[in-house]
Amino acid sequence: MALTNHKFLLAARPVGMPKRSDWTYTEEPVGEPKEGELLVQLLYISLDPAMRIWINDARSYMPPVGIGELMRALGVGIVTASRNPRFAVGDYVSGLFGVQEYALTDGRGVAKVDTRAAPLPKYLSVLGMPGMTAYFGLLDTGQPKPGEMVVVSAAAGAVGAVVGQIAKIKNCRVVGIAGGAEKCRYIVQELGFDAAIDYKAAPVSGFLRRHCPEGIDVYFDNVGGAILDAALARLRLGARIVICGAISQYNNTGPITGPSNYLSLLSNRATMKGTLVLDYVDRYAQAGAEMAVWMAAGKLKSREDIVEGLATFPETLLKLFKSENSGKLMLKVG
């Protein structure tokens, strides 16, 4: 029987939070692989804050998704047909397959994953792009030293939770900033952070004064806005700020709010530097091997927030921007 592929195309450039009408949900027959190609049935699709950046008509580290084009997404799945010698039917793979059920690909950028080593969703989570972002963003850009004070925002999320645990492994003191009592409990009691700040309960600056009396050595920023400003005001001499993301700003209809406390960089001879996971592709395997050891030793944990059904994509994506996801957000398909 002929297979049908369902997929989401970008219909319009969203203003503010993306709406269902910004997407087209469509179907087509599944094609046969040509020489050199393989067919992947998607099993899990990664939903990432960066998707909001990819659908803006603006210059970034990747070209924007065009109107009428398949929505870009990382995913993991199983090879169901192959005319590419590198891949066999039954292989589990990860790649940039898009928001759809089946992907035909020439295999470029596709990697095999070992489901005996870890369950498939982990390859979109701690052993996938968010884990790599945390590993290289913290260790390469943040350069934490034992005994230093590391603060991370969106600390219960896919990237933040891994940042905090790696900082603990490196013998730092770690404070996580997260929204709500449950996420704060999770990062302290289950992940071993030293303290948590609930930014929804009261202004962050007061909590930072209490938890970081001598200041912050490394601030790993996932959210931007007022929380970045509060961290800037508490830097220690020689501090490093890692700019990983600014999710509080992604759905702005006006200009992004920049930090006003930036002169703290001058007085503290501090640095603020962007980090991009794609710069480290050549080192993913080395980082993955090290993180797998930490996972096996119980030092590195992750949780995944898995929502069933491709058709829920427009609404499920918004969980990221409404603080409704608990861990790495992904869709289960197939």
Give the residue with the Cβ less far from ligand NAP, 216 or 228: 228
5 vs 248, beta carbon nearer ligand NAP: 248
As beta bridge partners, residue 182 has none
- Closest contact distance (angstroms) between CB of 137 and ligand NAP is 7
Q: Would you say 33 or 259 has its CB closer to ligand NAP? A: 259
Q: How far is the CB of 262 from ligand NAP (least distance, A)?
A: 19
Q: Which is nearer to ligand NAP, 30 or 138 (CB)?
A: 138
- Sort 164 into a burial class: Cβ within 10 Å, 0-12 / 13-18 / 19+: buried
Structure tokens at 121: 């969703």
> DSSP state, 100?
B
Of 87 and 219, which has the nearer Cβ to ligand NAP?
A: 219
Please report how close the Cβ of residue 97 comes to ligand NAP at its closest, in angstroms.
17
Closest by CA to 249, choosing from 275, 232, 221, 225, is: 225
Strand segments, DSSP code E, in 185-310 are 195-198, 216-221, 235-243, 271-274, 304-308
Residue ranges that bind ligand NAP, judged by CB under 6 A: 48-50, 130, 133, 154, 156-160, 178-180, 183, 222-223, 244-248, 275-277, 320-321, 323, 325, 328
Q: Rank residues 269 and 283 by Cβ distance to ligand NAP and give the closer one.
A: 283
Instruction: Output the residue with the shortest Cβ distance to ligand NAP.
Output: 157
Smallest gap from residue 29 Cβ to ligand NAP (A):
33
Give kind and range of the element (H or E) at residue 289. Answer: helix 284-296
CA distances from 197 to 132, 148, 248, 285 (A): 25, 18, 17, 33
Asked whether the beta carbons of 310 and 333 are under 8 A apart, the reply is yes
User: Residue 327 Cβ, how far from ligand NAP at the closest point, in Å?
Assistant: 7
Sheet containing strand 149-153, edge to edge, reads 195-198, 173-178, 149-153, 216-221, 235-243, 271-274
* Closest approach of ligand NAP to the CB of residue 154, in Å: 4
